[in-house]
Amino acid sequence: MIRLLIEKELKELFRTSKVIWMLGAILSLMFLALYNGYAYYVSHSSLLRESQEVTYKQFISQGDKNPHLGAHFGFYAYKPTADMAMVDNGIEDYTGNSFYLEPHKRGVVKFKEISDATGLRSFGFLNIGYLAQFILPLFIFLITHNIFSKEWENGTIKLLLSSKATTHQIFAGKLFACLLLVLSMIVVIALAFMVLLWKENDQGSFARLLPACGFYILGLTLFSIMITAIGTSVSLLTKSSTLSLILLSGFWLVGVFLLPRLAGEVSKNVYPSITSLEFENKTFDEKQYGVGNEGHKDIRREKLLKETMAKYNVKKIEDLPVYFIPITIEFFEESDGVVMDRAYQAVDENESLQDHFVLASAWLSPFLAFRDFSMRITATDMSTHNDFTRKAENHRRKIGEIVDDFYQKNTVAGNDFWKTVPQFSYQAPGIGWRLGNATHSILILTGWMLFSIGLMVFSSRKMTV
């Protein structure tokens, strides 16, 4: 019975020229998105991988230098392109990817690609993630908005209801017909994505990526089912194609564009960010004049000298068996580090409050929740970025220690020494960690799933003449 209903719906859909046009459009967009995402991934990942090699090579072949001067030459920690960035590049282009490993300067990630983009960038970046989060829902709504209402508008509902089919069967038939269309597209996406991923990775890393891919595709599938269910239910509830089209596309517009942006602006007002001017002034003061009653830098330096001289039992700085400058550098590296860590932590915490605020608004927009889920699973989110920053900063301090230890005994460092400084490499944590970060959005999506089930039950009760 349901098969019959599905067949009839599909026949009707495929004989409507607008549906064919839409399908054609979305399919070509899909391939373009795959290509674009793939090209992005390939060019970015190779650039970053090679640059990481080059910057380190430059560092270890810089020749004989004062160790501190050489350390200032430093090298860069580049955030490698996320392994699933060909699907969704999330906030990658907004966070930057270069972290300067240089002594006594708390690193900041630089080179936001977005700064070197034209206004076109504000229209989004077409990849599978963008397609799934922005265009696919609208496409689903365009397919489903009249799937029920047309029966009323054609007047076929009476014949349909006087048949043997139950309302549940009729609902299921229509839902499955739409799902067949939607899910077959997702299958194509999933297959193409798998092939590209397999092509770009060796067996080991492909196997490592599989769970994340699985979860992403599962999420995308459930999300599309939910959107289809909502579209179908609204079509049934309104019994009018135009009204349901207005309602659904309004819901889409609000959920995809309006609400996230509005929530973003509100969050900036609720949790205002510190300006970089204030940030600079504040950290400068704390470093210079000390926190609490630490005292001015000069006083602390004097104290350090006295302590060092006492330690080595000498009366004059010239008699120290070690060099004093690296000791001061190391000392202030630590105390300044505390100041900078605290300041950056405050910034990070404020940003995470803002992010949570925005995400909370996803209770009103499943699209936003899915966008968050997508970024988390593909590790193109803020948490991954912060994880990278943390690890790069740790690496920076490790280098500082190595150089300062050497500098206490030597005034010239050669390539032999530079080679003892370890290269930086980063890999985003695995699926467990990613899912952990996505808990909130998964919870919201589950809520929406329940809502859509409720909506289906509620609407199928309204299937009367």
Partner 1 sequence: MKLSVFNILFNHEIKILSRNKVLVSLFSLIILILISSLWIGSSMLQKQQETIGKITQTETAMTDSLKTRIKRIEANQMVYPGFIWDDPTFAYNTARNEGPKYAVKKPFALQALNVGQSDVQPFYYKVYINKKQYLTYESEIENSFLQFIGNFDFAFVVIYLFPLLIIVFSYNVLSSEKEQGTWVLLKTSNHSIARMILWRIVIRYILFTVFFWLIVTPFLISQIGGSFLITTNWAWLMAFVSLYFAFWFAISFLVNSFSMSSNVNAMVLIFIWLFTGIIVPNLLQVGLSKTYPIPSRIDMLTEERNAINKYFEKDGQELTKDVFSSPRAMIRQASIVTPEMVYGYGVIVYKSQEIKDAATAVAEGKLYTQIQKQQDAISRFQLLSPALMMQEELSALTGTHWHQFNQFSLDVDKFRKETQQFYYPKMAHENTCRTFSLDDADAIPQFKSKDYRDFSWTNLRQTFFTYLGIIAIVVFAGYRRMLDSTK
Partner 2 sequence: MLKAENLTKQFGTHTALDNLNLEIKKGDIYCLLGSNGAGKSTTINIFLGFIPASSGRALIDGNEVTVNNHATRDLVAYIPEVVNLYGTLTGMENLEFFSGLSGYNYSKTELIQFMETAGLQRSAIDKRVSSYSKGMRQKVGIAVALVKKAKALFLDEPTSGLDPHASNEFSQIITHLSEQGVSTLMATHDLLMAKNLGNRIGIMHQGSLKHDLLSQEVSHTDLTRLYIDIVKQNV
Applying the rule CB under 8 A, the residues between 126 and 145 that interact with partner 1 are: 126, 130, 134-135, 138, 142
Q: Does 32 bind partner 1 (CB under 8 A)?
A: yes
Residue 233 interacts with, from partner 1, partner 2, none (CB under 5-8 Å by kind): none
CB nearer to partner 2: pick between 4 and 187 = 4
Shortest reach from residue 21's CB to partner 2, in Å: 15
Shortest reach from residue 27's CB to partner 1, in Å: 13
- Give the list of residues 6+ apart from residue 311 with CB closer than 8 angstroms, or none: none
Name the burial class of residue 220, with classes exposed (0-12), middle (13-18) and buried (19+) by CB atoms within 10 angstroms of its CB. Answer: buried
E-strand ranges in 63-157 read 75-78, 98-101, 109-110
Q: What is the DSSP string of 380-425?
A: -SHHHHHHHHHHHHHHHHHHHHHHHHHHTT-S-B-HHHHTTSPPP-
Q: Does 160 bind partner 2 (CB under 8 A)?
A: yes
CB nearer to partner 2: pick between 12 and 341 = 12
CB nearer to partner 1: pick between 115 and 439 = 115
Segment 239-258, which members bind partner 2 (CB under 8 A)? none
Q: What is the DSSP string of 322-357?
A: S-HHHHHHHHHHHHHHHHHHHHHHHHHHHHHHHHHH
CB nearer to partner 2: pick between 135 and 456 = 456
Segment 205-234, which members bind partner 1 (CB under 8 A)? none
Shortest reach from residue 197's CB to partner 1, in Å: 21
Q: Which of 12, 64, 294, 307 binds partner 2 (CB under 8 A)?
A: 12
Shortest reach from residue 232's CB to partner 2, in Å: 18
Binding mask 268-307 for partner 1 (x = CB under 8 A): xx---xxxxxxxxx---------------xx--x------
Residue 98 interacts with, from partner 1, partner 2, none (CB under 5-8 Å by kind): partner 1
3-class secondary structure, 78: strand
Do 465 and 92 touch, CB atoms closer than 8 A?
A: no
Q: Does 267 bind partner 1 (CB under 8 A)?
A: yes
Residue 111 interacts with, from partner 1, partner 2, none (CB under 5-8 Å by kind): partner 1
Segment 313-332, which members bind partner 1 (CB under 8 A)? 317-318, 320, 323-326
**Which among 100, 71, 106 is positioned nearest to 337, based on CA atoms?**
106
d(CA 1, CA 164): 9
Query: How many helices (H) and strands (E) would you count in the chain?
Result: 20, 3
Do 74 and 107 touch, CB atoms closer than 8 A?
A: no
* Residue 22 main-chain phi, psi, to 5 deg: -65, -45
The 109-110 sheet, strands edge to edge: 75-78, 98-101, 109-110
Segment 87-126, which members bind partner 1 (CB under 8 A)? 90-91, 94-95, 97-98, 108, 110-126
d(CA 12, CA 299): 84
Which DSSP helix (H) or strand (E) runs through 167?
helix 167-200
Q: Does 158 bind partner 2 (CB under 8 A)?
A: yes
How many residues contact partner 2, by CB under 8 A? 24
Do 61 and 415 touch, CB atoms closer than 8 A?
A: yes
Please choose, out of 12-20, 34-42, 426-434, 445-453, the segment that lies near partner 2 by the rule CB under 8 A: 12-20
Binding-site ranges for partner 2 (CB under 8 A)? 1, 4-5, 7-8, 11-12, 15-16, 154-156, 158-167, 464-465
